[in-house]
């Protein structure tokens, strides 16, 4: 996730920088839309990674319970 999140945030920063340097309104608007999209993708990637991590923790806890129940 870190690589994907980092990539998306780098792209968002590049778009923001391009928007700041744009002289034409339509180019500025395009870059601002791109920035918003990249930031949304970054947030989504982070959310998915957190959900996966939570699911893995829950699965590990369930496996530990299953092993404990088998041992008794």
Specify the higher pLDDT residue, 64 or 32: 32
pLDDT at position 3 is 85
> CB count, 10 Å around CB of 30?
15
Q: What are the pLDDT digits (tens) for 48-67? A: 999 999 999 999 999 988 88
Q: Domain residues for 35?
A: 2-71
Q: CA-CA distance, 28 to 11, in Å (whole number)?
A: 15
Please say if the pLDDT value at position 71 is more than 80.
Answer: no
Task: Give the count of domains, the chain.
Answer: 1
Q: Which helix (H) or strand (E) holds 5?
A: helix 2-21
Question: Is residue 14's pLDDT more than 90?
Answer: yes
């Amino acid at each position: 996730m870190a690589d994907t999140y980092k990539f998306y945030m780098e792209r968002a920063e590049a778009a923001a920088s391009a928007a700041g340097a744009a002289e034409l309104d339509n180019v500025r608007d395009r870059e601002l839309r791109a920035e918003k999209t990249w930031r949304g993708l970054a947030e989504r990637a982070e959310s998915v990674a957190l959900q996966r991590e939570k699911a893995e923790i829950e699965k590990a806890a369930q496996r530990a319970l299953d092993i404990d129940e088998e041992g008794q």
